[in-house]
A and B are shown apart, each in its own frame.
Chain A
Amino acid sequence: MKNYLFLLFIFSSIIGFSQEGFLINGVRDKNHNAHAFINATLHIDGEALINDGYLFVKEGRITYVGPKTKLPKNCVVHDVKGKHIYPSFIDLCTSYGVEKVKASPRSDYPQYNSLKKGAYSWNQTIKPEVNGIEAFKDNEKLAKEFRDIGFGTVLSHQQDGIARGTSVLANLAVNSQHENIILEKAAAHYSFKKGVSRQAYPSSLMGCIALLKQTFLDAEWYHNSNEDKQKNLSLEAFTLTQSLPQIIDVRNKYSVLRADKLGDEFNVQYTFKGSGDEYQMIADMKATNGQFIVPLNFPKPYDVEDPYDARHVSLEEMKHWELAPSNPKFLEQNQIVFALTTDGLKKKSSFLMNLRKAVKMGLSKKQALKSLTEIPAEMMGVYEELGSLTKGKQANFLITSGDIFEKGESIHQNWIRGKKHEVSAMDIVDVRGVYNLNVNQNIRTLTVSGSKEKPSGKLTYDMITDSVSVKGDLVLDSLTGKPYKIIRKQTVKVATSLNDHTIAISYQLKGGVYRLSGNVNFDSGVWDGRGQMPNGEWIEWTAIRSEKHKVKKKDNDNAIGLASGSEARGKFNYPMMAYGWDSLPVQKSILIKNAIVWTLEEQGTLETDLLIRQGKIAHIGKIADIVDANTLVIDAKGKHVSPGIIDEHSHIAIERGVNEGSSAVTAEVRIGDVVKPNDINIYRQLSGGVTASQLLHGSANPIGGQAALIKLRWGNSPEKMKVENAPGFIKFALGENVKQSNWGSYNTIRFPQTRMGVEQVFYDAFINAQEYEKKWSVYNELPKKKKQEVSPPRRDLQTEAILEILNAQRFVTCHSYVQSEINMLMHVADSMKFRLNTFTHILEGYKVADKMKAHGAGGSTFSDWWAYKFEVNDAIPHNASLLNQMGIVTAINSDDAEMGRRLNQEAAKGIKYGGMTEEEALKMVTLNPAILLHVDDRMGSIKIGKDADIVIWSDNPLSVYAKVEQTIIDGIVYYDWKRDLKMRKEIQQERLRIITKMIEEKNGGAETQKAFKKKSTVHVCGTLSDDGN
């Protein structure tokens, strides 16, 4: 299908090229635009090179490429000896010529439905029906910008929304659009960004991902179902465009993995439009098997001269500044297929500079050329047409002054479809230098600088004066001691305009304006001509060059960030930021000697040894000898060892939005899709003895998203952080947050706005899930034959997640405060025949502890929070104790990255309020959350066979004075206070090294950016939508 379509497009484009059927105003033009370029260095493609080669073009196509041969008749011959010819570049990520979409105006209330008129998707950000070609108009100004940096062809799409529709592949010649268009539907484009849509859903990254997934299912169902269904042009287009190359624009390396995972589910291999940070996880990038389109938008050095301000540039930003130019090199080294794009560059003109920087950093020139020509052409399936200097292909090529990947060389001409576009004059003469300008016998010094193409000048001269009011170097009269002459200080600008062999100069002196016009004698560096004085008198003038132009430092390597070379680059860190690892830690056998071990099992707390092997607790009890030389032995005399802390309720390490609070039920969204492994709070929690955190969706809606249980395996990829085979959880919420009580007058129309409505949301969702199950089981139970006649029901991710709850395949943790609603939800669960696993927060749990006990729910509460809103006014700090006394499995959680690293102290409050024993208190943050999370078979206590997730403390872990010395997960030491102290110094040194380098580059003339960012990351409206844009 794909190939067929593609051939059709090619065919039509070739036929269409001669503009049959157009009105001819005048006589027929039989000019075949035949040109011959001779004696050039021909870069056929990344591999082949022909010196002193000949290239012929006719009617927009290449007719000959090769060594010296007989010239065709009737052609224009260009002798381009010494010049290089390359295929023109192709950029696959642009919005060239495509109209931008405008956002609809803000309304008084949230917008819950699509405002797009027509039979399209329910969601405004799903618009696969948009075709770039339909909104495509030439834009000569922009086209020239692209041509001037070597591009002949661009792929252009409307860069807005999650499903963005198709792109158009077009040449950039000054031609009619009819001639320029190569493929009208070249590729289909996607992203995880909502764009300008103001529709509430989706408001988070996980919402964007879920929406794209659901769209796949909907489109599949729509395509296959023979039910009587409503028209949906978006779903039709979604299916239709699946045959095109699929390109997804992602914001960072983690989203590459997210997109790849999603693609795998639906048998789609995306091409990733990356962000330039791929080098940080290059092995994971490689493992996607995907192709990449990467930008060259390398960050500018920061202004770091002020040591105070410099603190606001993170090490992560510093390292990225240093390593980003090496990204293409790392992609090449790892044999990842990638194209380069101008996308993300503030100024297109910096493209060549950055390209050369990448080459300087180790990207091979071969690869660079391929990534700009052959690879993008292959990606679009048009390598038969474009992407190399090959006979029969479109005549898209560049003539350059030399090796285009070397600095100082320039593009002279960009030929597209056989049509010449001049970029810079091929034989421009450098007139810059220092001249003695003789005008009417007055000799002054004229310094001509600026660019070769646009020189400008300054005039310097002496002046006799008796006034000290004029600034300058004074020469004093030796007799009178009074100044009589001023030297060289008054310089006036000279406007120079250079046009081939003529030159015009004008400048202003005291007497008025002098205007000169003359000829340039290139070889001798002599100008001469006539001019007019301020008084109108015509005079003769000459300028004789005394010195040639010197290349200033600014043009040097410094300015493009090569001052310190590539050798001094810093180490890679995992993650690439402060406190990241130089290399990931490995599992070892560990023997902890003489520690006070809190097993939280029958053995109780005892002074003994602890052996860890293969990530598990292997032995508890005195061990006489060291097991083997590879065992790490820790003498923990006087120290305490506890199970790792498990935080039942955390929101760390989540990217772009904790809440998909845009509707009452969002069971389809998954925190597991958006785990962010480079959140510094992971490391900080480790320093507080936390080994596992349940990452929960927020509490903005009654049925929120699915949770993710992670171990804090700092430095690893998102998938490796997740606890293997952890039972699924989902967040529910009740009370003020879900009824939007404290969200201002804007958020007052979403159902529910009362606790009464909250109950109905639950019943509606569960009854719907029951019916969904029934519909499916009816279908599934059909006899085989019958099944083929009937189409399957529509799959709904949201309902499926809710159904899992009913089938005890997914557990609920419910944000809850007041007794009435807790009671209500237990009634809902009882009548729907499922068990509520955990009430989280559960501040009035003590009022319904008997009912919770009867229902079988657990509680995960705050130690002592209350009074922050009306519904927590009856909360008591004895809550955990009372629930515990009632025999309810009770945990204490943080819900807060700061408190998360002091959970041991929060647990200790259980002793103070309500008189827990110390072991009971410690269980609140270890074994009990493990039980609530259904992972107590492997986590939560120190027992032979369980995961070696443990903490070594300086003191009793329940004491405010206890500090974490080591945190171990799966037998791997992830936090060590001694290593932490060492790293602090290393971080400072690394920062200083990079700061020095940045300052060097700045002094070398490089453009910089402020230490404080000009624009901050957009996080709209807190709880409601963290960031869907």
Chain B
Amino acid sequence: MKNVQYIVVTLFGFCFLNFQGQEAPGVKQVKSVLLLNGTAHLGTGEVINRSAIVLEKGKIINVMNALTKTINNSDYDTVIDIKDKHVYPGFIAVNSTLGLMEIGAVRATEDFDETGTYNPNVRSIIAYNTDSKITPTIRTNGVLLAQVTPRGGVVSGSSSVVHFDAWNWEDALVKEDVGIHLNWPRFMKSSGWWSTSGDSKKSKNYIEKTKDINMFFDESLAYSKASNEGDRDLKLEAMKGLFTGNKTLFVNVSYVKEINDVINFKRKYNLKKVVIVGGYDSWMVTDRLKENNISVVIKHIHSLPNQPEDDIDLPYRLPKLLNDAGVSYCLQYFAQMEQMGTRNLPFVAGTAIAHGLTYEEGVASITMNAAKILGIDHVLGSIEVGKNATLFVSDGDALDMKTSNVVIAFIDGRMINLDNHQSRNYNKYKTKYGLE
């Protein structure tokens, strides 16, 4: 046991010395690491109360129950005893603009909303800023992956999945161009602003707008079937993957009538993968969603109900409602202040647990469920053998702000620096005031 302690100390010393500048990416993993005795929340809905997890060459090569398996510490280069601590797969921020926006009110720092109506060909990945000051503050809370997503227009563009430990966007890439993002027209508009909510008003051009989208998909479908050499159309070309099943269509839609229309739309174009984003009313049509194999990226649940008479906890309970109905879903943090707020994604899952999900369902809602929706579940989203070693250790329950304290995190086996400019600033001023 003493031996283990010693190893832990050296390991931290080692890390500290090896961090070059501010949050430089970690060093490639060459040696094996054993995470021993932690409570492992696998992301699959399972939990191992005393686990032994082995990471090697960036992969998880073994996941064991330390109570039933004999573990020989000397088999591993590094052993980290994480008794009484919790270990989770890296949390995934779905439908995120991290790295595409630095300061909300400063237009020059905004890179997620291209002008124009149909932009399936614009790609978020090439604008993704690995040097954002925000990202380090997000991973400090265990969020290690994001679907970097464009917004705006009718078809906003293509999203890609990244991890948060990279020198440049090529390094960051987990999966390129996973989804095309469609803003479904709104049946009604809400008026009002900020503290004053207004009435809903029927939108004038709903039908026309949906016809327009149909036309674009007609054209895209036709294009996808033909050979277009010498006559290439970048937009239509970008749409191809939707019909082959290579890409997922993410549709931002909220009201039940619109959701029904989106379901019909999926059937009409025989789209392989469709995901509803938002889906405030999705609980009303769970059977249809299931039948048609449509997943839901649930609207940020830290939000107010839409109608005064809606159950006051309806947003909080939405995950539970979909979970019990058997609809595939995950959580997200798209709302005002979403970039910097993404560090609270774990607590959103905490709220969903407070309002019905079991703890492990809550973990899954920001790990494995998200990975499935993004189509990266073969490499990420859970602590399972063969998957990327992207996981983290928290002193206490990472879904509760009262106890969350991430102490170690790995991305593809690289141990990452959990420091950020905010904690440095804090320490700087503590020193100034002679606190501690």
* Chain A interface (Cβ < 8 Å from any Cβ of B): 308-309, 311-312, 314-316, 577-579, 651-652, 654, 656-658, 680-681, 683-684, 687, 736, 741-742, 846-847, 849-850, 864-870, 873-878, 882, 885-886, 897-899, 902, 905, 908-909, 911-914, 918, 956, 958-963, 980, 984, 987, 991, 1010, 1012-1019, 1022-1023, 1026-1027
Find out whether the CB atom of B400 lies under 8 angstroms from the CB atom of A311. no
Find out whether the CB atom of B200 lies under 8 angstroms from the CB atom of A578. no
Provide 11 A-B residue pairs closer than 8 Å at the C-beta atoms, listed in order of the A residue.
A651-B195, A658-B194, A846-B425, A847-B429, A876-B425, A882-B426, A912-B405, A959-B400, A960-B354, A980-B312, A1014-B201
Query: Which chain B positions have C-beta within 8 A of A1019?
Result: 191-193, 196, 198
Q: Is the C-beta of B2 less than 8 angstroms from some C-beta in chain A? A: no
Query: Which chain B positions have C-beta within 8 A of A311?
Result: 307
What CA separation (Å) do A681 and B195 show in the bound complex? 10
Take A311-B307, A314-B309 as given contacts and tell me if A1016 and B191 are in contact as well, using a CB distance cutoff of 8 Å: yes
A578 and chain B: residue at smallest CB distance: B309
Find out whether the CB atom of A849 lies under 8 angstroms from the CB atom of B429. yes
Take A878-B422, A886-B433 as given contacts and tell me if A961 and B192 are in contact as well, using a CB distance cutoff of 8 Å: no
Find out whether the CB atom of A308 lies under 8 angstroms from the CB atom of B257. yes
Choice from A316, A654, A865 contacting B195 with Cβ under 8 Å: A654
What CA separation (Å) do A523 and B400 show in the bound complex? 89
Query: Which chain B positions have C-beta within 8 A of A1026?
Result: 193, 195-196
Closest 3 CB pairs of A and B: A960-B350, A1016-B191, A869-B105
Q: Mark B287-323, 1 if CB is under 8 A from A, else 0.
A: 0000000000000001111011101110000000000
Q: Is the C-beta of B188 less than 8 angstroms from some C-beta in chain A? A: yes
Query: Which chain B positions have C-beta within 8 A of A963?
Result: 354-355
Find out whether the CB atom of B195 lies under 8 angstroms from the CB atom of A958. no
Query: Which chain A positions have C-beta within 8 A of B350?
Result: 960-961
Closest Cβ of chain B to A303, distance in Å, is 11
What CA separation (Å) do A378 and B410 show in the bound complex? 84
Query: Which chain B positions have C-beta within 8 A of A1016?
Result: 189-192, 198-201
Q: Mark B134-154, 1 if CB is under 8 A from A, else 0.
A: 100000000000000000000
Closest Cβ of chain B to A1026, distance in Å, is 6
Closest Cβ of chain A to B187, distance in Å, is 8
Find out whether the CB atom of A1012 lies under 8 angstroms from the CB atom of B188. yes
What CA separation (Å) do A961 and B356 show in the bound complex? 10
Q: Is the C-beta of B202 less than 8 angstroms from some C-beta in chain A? A: yes
Closest Cβ of chain A to B34, distance in Å, is 28
Closest Cβ of chain B to A251, distance in Å, is 14
Closest Cβ of chain B to A866, distance in Å, is 5
Q: Kindly specify which of B88-96, B165-173, B335-343 makes contact with the partner chain.
A: B335-343
Query: Which chain A positions have C-beta within 8 A of B122?
Result: none
What CA separation (Å) do A958 and B435 show in the bound complex? 25
Find out whether the CB atom of A882 lies under 8 angstroms from the CB atom of B430. yes
Query: Which chain B positions have C-beta within 8 A of A684?
Result: 304-305, 312
Most buried by B among A652, A867, A918, A987: A867
Query: Which chain B positions have C-beta within 8 A of A654?
Result: 195-196
Closest Cβ of chain B to A443, distance in Å, is 49
Choice from B309, B341, B347 contacting A315 with Cβ under 8 Å: B309
Take A681-B304, A1017-B192 as given contacts and tell me if A870 and B105 are in contact as well, using a CB distance cutoff of 8 Å: yes
Find out whether the CB atom of A897 lies under 8 angstroms from the CB atom of B195. yes
What CA separation (Å) do A70 and B302 show in the bound complex? 83
Query: Which chain A positions have C-beta within 8 A of B341?
Result: 865
Find out whether the CB atom of B105 lies under 8 angstroms from the CB atom of A742. yes
Find out whether the CB atom of A741 lies under 8 angstroms from the CB atom of B105. yes
Given contacts A868-B103, A1013-B201, 14 further A-B contacts (CB under 8 A): A316-B308, A680-B308, A847-B429, A850-B433, A867-B104, A868-B104, A876-B422, A898-B304, A912-B401, A958-B402, A960-B353, A961-B353, A1015-B201, A1018-B191
What CA separation (Å) do A859 and B85 show in the bound complex? 34
Most buried by B among A847, A849, A961: A961
What CA separation (Å) do A955 and B8 show in the bound complex? 35
Q: Is the C-beta of B344 less than 8 angstroms from some C-beta in chain A? A: yes
B351 and chain A: residue at smallest CB distance: A960
Query: Which chain B positions have C-beta within 8 A of A1022?
Result: 193-194
Find out whether the CB atom of A898 lies under 8 angstroms from the CB atom of B303. yes
Query: Which chain A positions have C-beta within 8 A of B313?
Result: 687
Q: Is the C-beta of B102 less than 8 angstroms from some C-beta in chain A? A: yes
**Which B228-249 residues have a C-beta within 8 angstroms of A?**
none
Find out whether the CB atom of A908 lies under 8 angstroms from the CB atom of B200. no
B134 and chain A: residue at smallest CB distance: A867
Choice from B103, B191, B200, B255 contacting A867 with Cβ under 8 Å: B103
Closest Cβ of chain B to A123, distance in Å, is 24
Query: Which chain A positions have C-beta within 8 A of B302?
Result: 898-899, 902
Most buried by B among A578, A846, A912: A912
A975 and chain B: residue at smallest CB distance: B312
Query: Which chain A positions have C-beta within 8 A of B399?
Result: 960
What CA separation (Å) do A1012 and B311 show in the bound complex? 21
Query: Which chain A positions have C-beta within 8 A of B433?
Result: 849-850, 882, 885-886
Query: Which chain A positions have C-beta within 8 A of B256?
Result: 308
B102 and chain A: residue at smallest CB distance: A867
What CA separation (Å) do A92 and B74 show in the bound complex? 96
Take A312-B188, A684-B304, A882-B426 as given contacts and tell me if A960 and B195 are in contact as well, using a CB distance cutoff of 8 Å: no
Q: Mark B44-61, 1 if CB is under 8 A from A, else 0.
A: 000000000000000000
Q: Is the C-beta of B404 less than 8 angstroms from some C-beta in chain A? A: yes
**Which B397-416 residues have a C-beta within 8 angstroms of A?**
399-402, 404-405
Find out whether the CB atom of A865 lies under 8 angstroms from the CB atom of B337. yes
Most buried by A among B284, B337, B350: B337
What CA separation (Å) do A905 and B401 show in the bound complex? 7
Q: Is the C-beta of B106 less than 8 angstroms from some C-beta in chain A? A: yes
Choice from A687, A877, A961 contacting B354 with Cβ under 8 Å: A961
Find out whether the CB atom of A1023 lies under 8 angstroms from the CB atom of B194. yes
Choice from A651, A741, A877 contacting B422 with Cβ under 8 Å: A877
Find out whether the CB atom of B104 lies under 8 angstroms from the CB atom of A960. no
What CA separation (Å) do A127 and B340 show in the bound complex? 50
Take A654-B195, A867-B134, A1016-B191 as given contacts and tell me if A312 and B307 are in contact as well, using a CB distance cutoff of 8 Å: yes
Find out whether the CB atom of B422 lies under 8 angstroms from the CB atom of A1013. no
Find out whether the CB atom of A312 lies under 8 angstroms from the CB atom of B347. no
Query: Which chain B positions have C-beta within 8 A of A658?
Result: 194-196
Closest Cβ of chain A to B361, distance in Å, is 14
Q: Is the C-beta of B227 less than 8 angstroms from some C-beta in chain A? A: no
Take A308-B257, A847-B429, A1019-B193 as given contacts and tell me if A960 and B400 are in contact as well, using a CB distance cutoff of 8 Å: yes
Q: Is the C-beta of B423 less than 8 angstroms from some C-beta in chain A? A: yes
Query: Which chain A positions have C-beta within 8 A of B106?
Result: 869-870
Closest Cβ of chain B to A281, distance in Å, is 18
Find out whether the CB atom of A908 lies under 8 angstroms from the CB atom of B401. yes
Most buried by A among B200, B255, B343: B200
Query: Which chain B positions have C-beta within 8 A of A886?
Result: 433, 435
Find out whether the CB atom of A908 lies under 8 angstroms from the CB atom of B402. yes
Find out whether the CB atom of B307 lies under 8 angstroms from the CB atom of A314. yes
Closest Cβ of chain B to A1029, distance in Å, is 13
Query: Which chain B positions have C-beta within 8 A of A314?
Result: 307-309
Most buried by A among B194, B198, B423, B435: B194
B432 and chain A: residue at smallest CB distance: A850
Closest Cβ of chain A to B251, distance in Å, is 18
Q: Mark B182-220, 1 if CB is under 8 A from A, else 0.
A: 000000111111111011111000000000000000000
What CA separation (Å) do A874 and B340 show in the bound complex? 12
Find out whether the CB atom of A882 lies under 8 angstroms from the CB atom of B429. yes
Query: Which chain B positions have C-beta within 8 A of A898?
Result: 302-304
Closest Cβ of chain A to B209, distance in Å, is 16
Query: Which chain A positions have C-beta within 8 A of B422?
Result: 866, 875-878
Query: Which chain A positions have C-beta within 8 A of B200?
Result: 312, 1012-1013, 1016
Find out whether the CB atom of B193 lies under 8 angstroms from the CB atom of A868. no
Query: Which chain A positions have C-beta within 8 A of B423?
Result: 876, 878
What CA separation (Å) do A1015 and B198 show in the bound complex? 11
Find out whether the CB atom of A577 lies under 8 angstroms from the CB atom of B401. no
Query: Which chain B positions have C-beta within 8 A of A1017?
Result: 191-192, 198-199
Find out whether the CB atom of A1012 lies under 8 angstroms from the CB atom of B201. yes
